[in-house]
Chain A
Amino acid sequence: MEHFGYLFAAYSIIFVVIFLYVMFICRRQAALDAELRTLEARMAALTKASDESASSQSQPDA
């Protein structure tokens, strides 16, 4: 079992780095989801404001 340490080190490093990269992708995905929710909220607010403006314009002056 000579050089087992080198073999163990090589495979450990490969799997640790791969795991870290997958974690990095997952974190990016979470950040992207949060950004998407913000955009959706802004879009909803904008649509609501636009609808209110349209309905106030369509009401005849009393």
Chain B
Amino acid sequence: MRANFFKMNSAIRNGLGYTTLALMIVALFMVFDYVPPEAEQGIAQLIFYFHVPLAWVAFASFGIVAIAGIFYLWLGDQLWDDLGYAAAETGMVFCTLMIVAGSIWAKPIWGTWWTWDSRLTTTFILWLMYVGYLMLRASADDTPQVARFGAVIGIVAALDVPIVIASVRLWRTIHPAVLVTKQGGHGLEDPRMVTTLLVCLAAFTVFWAWLLMLRFMQLRTRSRMGELAVRIAFASAAASDKQVMEPG
């Protein structure tokens, strides 16, 4: 049963890895050869096709951190803590890349690397909260108390995700609202733009699932090894006590 589970796990992991590779190649081809650049922004607009998927997988990760945090606080099972930690780490990588890619796009389009716009500011707050989460996890031992603090931070931080998404509608902003415009509908004028964006979204979703699975399985193994090490330590202590009690 257990051997079958690990075989299935390994098959899913390999499948996700190869699918990621194939989809990424197709996505890059579409971005650089298939889709026309937007008329006003020119070639810099092509950054958008990776910027949006990076945002999507970052937000999905933070959603999983919150869900895992709720389940950990409710059930106290280490599995949920491992899932939350893995999702926070992968989410942080994608969130950082999303901010960096957006900043590189902003320089030629807005004339500045960064501005304290509502979308950018709320995203930066989100990023800072997850930096706090990961610093807590990295600096403290893996105790249930630290896991509980982490779960609470993860849940509170995830509350910022809907604010980030809604910020372009709630406040005056210079950040483009491409996917859902204020007039309704999306702002992608060419069907090839929509297709390219969908392929990039699929590529990053599969890639994210692969990374999350790899990291989650690692953290599960580490937790189980920690439990095993404690058992071995107890068993060896008991064995040495027995030798002292029965000399010769």
A43 sits at the interface (CB 8 A):
yes
> Does B235 contact A46, Cβ atoms closer than 8 Å?
yes
Give a binary string over A19-43; 1 marks a CB under 8 Å from any B CB, 0 the rest: 0011001001100100110010011
In the bound complex, residues from chain B placing their C-beta under 8 Å from that of A25 are: 211, 214-215, 218
Q: A residues near B, CB below 8 A? A: 1-4, 6-7, 9-11, 13-14, 17-18, 21-22, 25, 28-29, 32, 35-36, 39, 42-43, 46, 49-50, 53
Give a binary string over B203-232; 1 marks a CB under 8 Å from any A CB, 0 the rest: 000010001001100100110010011001
> Does A7 contact B232, Cβ atoms closer than 8 Å?
no
> How many residue-residue contacts, CB under 8 A, span A and B?
78
Majority-rule SS of A interface residues? helix
Given the interface pairs A35-B225, A36-B225, A39-B228, the reply to whether A14 lies near B239 with Cβ below 8 Å is: no
B8 sits at the interface (CB 8 A):
no
Residue pairs across A and B with Cβ atoms less than 8 A apart, 9 shown, are A3-B43, A10-B105, A17-B93, A17-B96, A22-B211, A29-B218, A32-B218, A35-B225, A53-B243
In the bound complex, residues from chain B placing their C-beta under 8 Å from that of A22 are: 211
In the bound complex, residues from chain A placing their C-beta under 8 Å from that of B232 are: 39, 42-43, 46
